[in-house]
Structure 1
């Protein structure tokens, strides 16, 4: 039986930053979204006219803005954690707050979109498209809210310099969760808003 890694290949291995429990949660959440994405695609193949009409009511500009905001948040959290790792505490805190702010902008934008949809008479029970729309985007919104709370918590804790140079296990864990949230939206946006 061959060893899984030789000493030379171990040095070249990519380090998985963050807590293993968070990575397991990320795997489970990604699988859950993946199953929902497959169900959405299957339902769309069964009712293409209903899905096309529903997608026609969505604001592509708002969805694109949300994509840009989440990508900016990923950049901010990556820069923030890197700064903490390098001992630049003030920059690290700013990056974490920047990502949290991007999450809040996303949540505000989604709240306006939901308000617009419900005012137009589109709710969870309107048809199959809107059931999936609210289920997918609502599930994602809950994840963004959780990420914002975690980022804010990390930013508050980071103010006192608790993560010394190179010891960023907790911020790395939160950053991994944020990047999952971002990645899921990058799949959700074209699937729900764009592809016909």
Structure 2
């Protein structure tokens, strides 16, 4: 027994849902890919809003107040010394991300790991282990984000070029669900591993 054909309104609704699934899959996939690449490299493709100097506690607090919460530097990159230039972001990933600034490395800036010549060996080891964990987690989820983006693009290919709306719709739905699972898993792991991840939402 074959499925009854959709009514005109049902077809319009299904196509609108396809667009929603595509948008969510691509938006969440691209957002997490950008965020994980930022954590791994300290680089971001988004425009820099402004450049600031952070030398005192008051200057750091002022920037936190402007953001509405803490700023975050890349969690898998080490600064050679205090005062090095780095990127810091207000908000983590879409829809929470707001802007990125260029700032000087400061010990009060979460993720701003600074090398000090008089550090205790235990502190050095703990930082190195944390950075390795961040590299593994962010590298792994960058690959997952690429998979979600690819799944959403494949859905668009099926829907628009292969003219197989049913297959395109199902693939887009899988991409949509995968994007939410990806963000939920990433956030859960990071809340467990990174003590600063709960800040700034």
TM-score range with shorter-chain normalisation?
0.3 to 0.5
Question: How high is the TM-score relative to the length of structure 1?
Answer: 0.44
The higher radius of gyration belongs to: 2
Question: How high is the TM-score relative to the length of structure 2?
Answer: 0.43
